[in-house]
Chain A
């Protein structure tokens, strides 16, 4: 089988299977999960058994069911954030590339200042103001993350905006919006696809991190970062350390590695023009 005109490598296949598996779990959570999302079914931190495959959590809910439902929230929020972030970042980036030097300078300098504040610190400041409901969380992280998308989109679009067909469209009398949408956008998409994967990984870890700090997705919604936080004390028990916080943390790790494997493969097909690292 070929994808994007290439045969996927083994690691790309592994990545795709992981991602597909988690997406399947997220979509069909209510049918797969043996117990309800917020249903107390056993005693606190019961060990893994035939009844509760991964044991129970800090208030006796089935851990595996929580992880299955958590896939919905955690992946859903990260995906929505990344999509919104790309919509904002690419629109601004493309606009900067054709809107003239003044607009470009204003947007670029503003983004430079935004980038000189660590993302987590910035997000914490805004969340302290608005509280953390899911919509606030998505909008906040998307706006902060769009500064990174802007950088790449602008760099790629700048190279496209000077080509002849853009000039031709301008001479035909097309407006900025038409040129952005029909002339530049299709030509910047290929490098943006792998960037989307990388930004998704970043946002995914970021949402999980915020929830772990207790400042992201709020209970009773199950989400992987929050579950690590709720169950953290189980592991500290010196007599009988429980693995409860490790399972959701491992789910986060496996998902990120899966996406990274796919992205690595896509990257090897079309090398990113900027060569910049999106890890930070």
Chain B
């Protein structure tokens, strides 16, 4: 088991390195010149050359990559092209905000969707299963901003329960933050719950159709005992994987939601960076999102190795 854990961990680190190369390559080596992309068509040869020198673009690509990676490892993400501010200083509070929002949504969504998913699986084919199937399918089918604007229209504008824009300040107390971030968190909850519920349901159903479950029923055990003692320990691994996968999805889903609610997080910063063509900002945000994604996925695999009863060794 230890060997599996270590090899999974090493695989995660290797993926991180490969992804950092890919991010760097996607933004710097691909055909298309950063300098002319930023300065536009009208730039003269001299300004282009000066700008390239400023960015260090006259160096070969692998040296620039090593420079960049070295900087990232030492907490130096460079400065934004547009306002010359240190990216890390701008990014750190925004990253906290994003984590707060994602954590807020996850705190509601995870217990809700796992519970509902298990209930739907136990009652497979009955009305409660059908209703949850239709409702979750429609939440998956509609764009996230549609749900967001419906919530704004009803809960913020018509009823006035919540603010429609989620402006967060450093000085806000925890309770105030919860109140302000309620609508974006609710939108994210809807999105993620729909995915998670469906995946939890299908992984529990996959376990319930196994021969040993039938065996347990044939032994005359009660339904609740079969589910709690026999099905759940085996369903735990897939359910944990589902949760981690959806937390990773949450990280991405956050981008659009942050823009809708003007929430000062990493996603909004990245979209801003893209529209201003601020490459260092885009790279830094991309790296943060990708790392969070990979770390969560690695974490999911490690947890599912840990909880899988078949991989437990007698002491």
Contact = CB atoms under 8 A, between A and B. Distances in A.
B26 A122 contact: yes
Given A129-B27, A236-B157, A116 B294 contact: yes
Contact of B271 (A119, A215, A237, A279): A215
B22 A279 contact: no
Nearest to A118: B252
A246 B15 contact: no
A33 B22 CA distance: 45
Nearest to B134: A11
B255 interface: yes
Interface stretch (A149-157, A180-188, A250-258): A250-258
B110 interface: no
Q: Interface of chain A, helix or strand or loop or mixed?
A: helix
Given A114-B22, A116-B15, A116-B297, A127 B141 contact: no
A191 interface: no
Contacts of A128: 27, 273-274, 277-279, 282
B5 interface: no
Contact of A277 (B141, B199, B283): B199
Given A121-B270, A277-B199, A249 B145 contact: yes
B271 A256 contact: no
A124 B149 contact: no
A38 interface: no
Q: Interface of chain B, helix or strand or loop or mixed?
A: helix
A256 to B, nearest CB: 4
A203 to B, nearest CB: 13
Nearest to A280: B249
Contacts of B252: 118-121
A238 B132 CA distance: 33
B150 interface: yes
Interface in B262-292: 270-271, 273-275, 277-279, 282-283, 285-286, 289-290
B293 A246 contact: no
Nearest to B142: A253
Contacts of B150: 246
Nearest to B154: A241
A201 B260 CA distance: 22
Given A225-B143, A253-B143, A213 B138 contact: no
A168 interface: no
A280 to B, nearest CB: 6
A112 B297 CA distance: 13
Given A129-B34, A212-B256, A238 B157 contact: yes
A214 interface: yes
B137 interface: yes
Contacts of A31: none
B290 A250 contact: no
Nearest to A109: B18
A142 to B, nearest CB: 15
Nearest to A259: B141
A215 B293 contact: no
Interface of A: 112-114, 116-122, 124-131, 201, 205, 208-209, 212-215, 225, 228, 232, 235-238, 241, 243, 245-246, 249-250, 252-253, 256-257, 260, 277, 279-280
Q: Which 9 A-B pairs have the closest CB atoms?
A: A253-B142, A249-B146, A128-B274, A118-B252, A256-B141, A121-B289, A128-B282, A257-B141, A241-B157
Interface of B: 15, 18-19, 22-23, 26-27, 30, 32, 34, 37, 137-138, 140-146, 149-150, 152-153, 157-158, 160, 164-165, 195, 198-199, 245, 248-249, 251-252, 255-256, 259-260, 270-271, 273-275, 277-279, 282-283, 285-286, 289-290, 293-294, 297
15 contacts: A116-B15, A117-B293, A118-B289, A120-B252, A124-B255, A125-B26, A128-B278, A131-B37, A215-B275, A241-B153, A246-B150, A253-B146, A277-B198, A277-B199, A280-B195
